[in-house]
Each structure stands twice: as C-alpha cells, then as structure tokens.
Amino acid sequence: MAADRLPHIVLFSGGTACRSTNLALCAKPVRVTRIVPAWDSGGSSKVIRESLDVLGVGDIRQALMTMAHGEGRAGDVVKVCNARLTSSSLADADTEFALYAEGRHPLLERMEPGLRGAILNYLRTFRAAIGADFDFRNGSIGNFILTGAHRAHNSDINTAIFVFRKLCDIAGHVWPSTAESSANLSAVLTDGTVIAGQHRVTALPEEQGRTGIREIALSGRDGAPAPANEAVIESLESADVVVFGPGSFYTSVLPHFLVEGIVPAIARNVQARRVFIGNILQCRETRGFDLAQMVQTAASVWRERGGVDVRPFTHVLANRQLLPFEKTVGAFAYLGNGALEATCARLGAEAVIGEFEDAWQRGQHDGAAVADSISSLLRA
C-alpha cells in the first residue's frame, strides 16, 4: 500500500512519555504524526528561548529523535542531534561546542560533505545569533541545530522541521501544536497561587502538588491566544485515530486543547477515533488525582474550547488495577482509575482496561501493548 494511503495516527503528547508507543507504532503499517508542545521553558530550551525569543524546540527534537530511532535511522546524524555538551564549566562547554560548530568532532568528520555542511551551517547560524555570553553547559546539540535551522529559514519552524527530517531521513511527521514563539503556560492552584512557566508547573514541590491545580492557561504574544499550527490542522483532517497522551497531564496533554483552533479541528473529523491514554503513575502535577477526574477535566476544557457538539473521546485506555491498596514506585503512587466506567458512560466513551505497564520498567507504559490496542481500533 502506498505510504499516503496507510492509516494515519496522530499523537498529542510531550517529548518523552509516549516514546515507547511511538517506537512500537513505527513498526506497524501506519503513518505516525506527533504533535508536541512549543511552551517548554526549562533546561536547554529555556536558555535558548531567553536568548532568542523562539518557541521551545526541546520536545520537537526529542520526538524527531524517537521517530528516527523507531524507523531505524540511528546513524551519526542522530547521534549528533542527541548529544549534550558538558555541564562542568563554561570554558569546557564553549570548547566542546566549537568542536561541533567548526566540524572537528569525529562524528562530523566522517559524514558525507553535503550533510556535514548543512549541519555546520545551522550551528554557525545559531552561534552568530546568540552572541558571546551564551551558556552552552548541558546544551543539546540537536536543539542548537534545530534553532539554527529555524533562524536560517526565516523563523519558519515548519520549514526547519522539514529540513531536519531530511537530514535524519525521517518519514514520520512531528509538529508543534502552535508555531507561536511566545507561547507560555501557567497554572492556578486551588488556593489561588499562580505558577508561571511549564518547567515550574511540571516540577511542583510536594506541598503545592497536594494543593492541586485548578486550571491552566496558555497565551501567545502580548497575552493573545496561541494560534494552531496550520500543519497540525492539516494532519488532523486526515487522521484515522487521534491519541491524547500518555504524558504530564497539565503540561504536555491538556494544554493542546487551549491552542486556538485545535479542538474544532479535531471535532470536524467525525470519523476519527479519539483515544485518551491514562498514565501509569501519578506525578507532581496530579498527586491525589485519578484517571476519571483527568478525563472529566479534559472533557470540560474540550467543551469550553469549541467541542460542544462532539464527544471528546471515543475510548479511554486505562491500566488494570491489580491491588486493593495504594502502591508506589519511588515518590509516586499508581494512578487509580476512580469512577472511570461511570465517567466514560456519561461522556459516550468506551473504557478499555488492560495491563499496559511495561514488565521491565515499573511505572512506564508497554509501548507494544498500547500500540496494539490503538491498532485494534483501526480494524474495528
């Protein structure tokens, strides 16, 4: 079957949580599109955003590298794009970056000239843009290349991603849900405390995590709504299954609903299955929450953002609860399902309860089991 006629699965997620599912889907006869956040405000993305006023590229790069790995493209380009600079000292990080930007790193030296030249061009574009005082420590080379491509192609992130995919020979698509460079996430806790920035929301201290999040907001430039990326709208038009999660609920999954135009675009595709995947564990954002509460919260935001006439989800994938008491992995308890059956019945969704935890990595999803469940919806 021609590639453009294969079933199309669109995944709304963050950068890492749905990695195993993405990898498993790459092995199936489907087309995969990842829709990722553009409001990453921590780590290497934070330093770049503060220096250049660009959207966060960290989740984009991670998703592209996952796609490359799933497609068997783990060559030198992927190794370079996954590399991080030393965190020891400013001088050492500057020296290490120079090895890449000047083409003296062994991985670059053995590349064919055209590919090597493109990477060097983007790294030099990035270096020229950030100036002499930039802190390279622990920086992602892939983030630097992608940001350089963004600058080199008239600040068009979609063109930069297209070029990046060609460099890595990636077939699958990855798009940020908004191309707005100033997209920022904030949360209001139940006690009224405002937490600004994705990196602060996802790392709530335990006390604030137990207080709980009342609502989140996503804004673009000058506080205006963040508009949907046109490439995302086009992807949703051809989707056979639209998947939400797994991932950090308030920072990686739910905010996509707040992007202007996303919910109406999903709702217009009435033929597509819409699948919400429950997490295995609670996290800092969702202490004391259960899956039924997450689904209900997402459904409420769905209605507020223009999905009134269409049920938000056709299916909810939930990990089977094997024990009658709370069990933890590290600092976090397993996510309970709560009143999931009743919530799904009220929303017109089917609860699909299975054993979705990876047998080798406690608290993580078994990507093959999730991918098989999604694929079964295509055959139904």
Note the pLDDT tens digit of each residue in 318-362.
Answer: 999 877 778 888 888 999 999 999 999 999 999 999 999 999 999
Which residues, 6+ apart, have CB-to-CB distance to 377 below 8 Å?
Answer: 241, 273, 275, 315
Q: Please, where are the H alpha helices in the chain? A: 19-26, 43-52, 58-70, 76-82, 90-101, 106-109, 113-130, 141-152, 157-168, 198-201, 206-211, 230-237, 255-258, 262-268, 291-304, 340-347, 367-379
Confidence of residue 1 (pLDDT cuts 50, 70, 90): low
pLDDT, tens digit, 9 for 90 and up, residues 190-229: 999 999 999 999 999 988 988 999 999 999 888 889 999 9
Find, among 380, 310, 313, 379, the residue nearest to 345 by Cα. Answer: 313
pLDDT score at 380: 66
- Which residue in the block uniquely carries the two structure tokens 């990876």? 358
The pLDDT mean for the chain works out to: 92
Where is average pLDDT lowest: 71-80, 139-148, 282-291?
A: 71-80
Q: Is the peptide bond before 246 cis (omega within 30 degrees of 0)?
A: yes
Residue 3 pLDDT > 70: no
Please name the fold of domain 184-379: Rossmann fold (3.40.50)
Any long-range contacts for 322-328 (C-beta under 8 Å, 24+ apart)? none
Name residue 198's amino acid: Q
Higher pLDDT, 173 or 164: 173
pLDDT in tens, 81-130: 999 999 999 999 999 999 999 999 999 999 889 889 999 999 999 999 99
Instruction: Give percent of the chain above pLDDT 90.
Output: 76
In this predicted model, what pLDDT tens digit does every residue of 15-28 receive, in sequence order? 788 999 999 999 99
Higher-confidence position of 226 and 74: 226
pLDDT in tens, 329-339: 888 899 999 99
Looking at the chain, the domain(s) classified CATH 3.40.50.10680 span: 184-379
- For residue 223, the model assigns a pLDDT of 83
Spatial strand order of the sheet with 173-176 comes to: 173-176, 31-36, 8-12, 241-244, 273-277, 315-319, 350-354
- Provide the CB-side half-sphere exposure for 284 (13 A, CA): 12
Q: Would you say residue 2 has pLDDT above 70? A: no
Instruction: Tell me what percent of the residues of the chain surpass a pLDDT of 70.
Output: 99
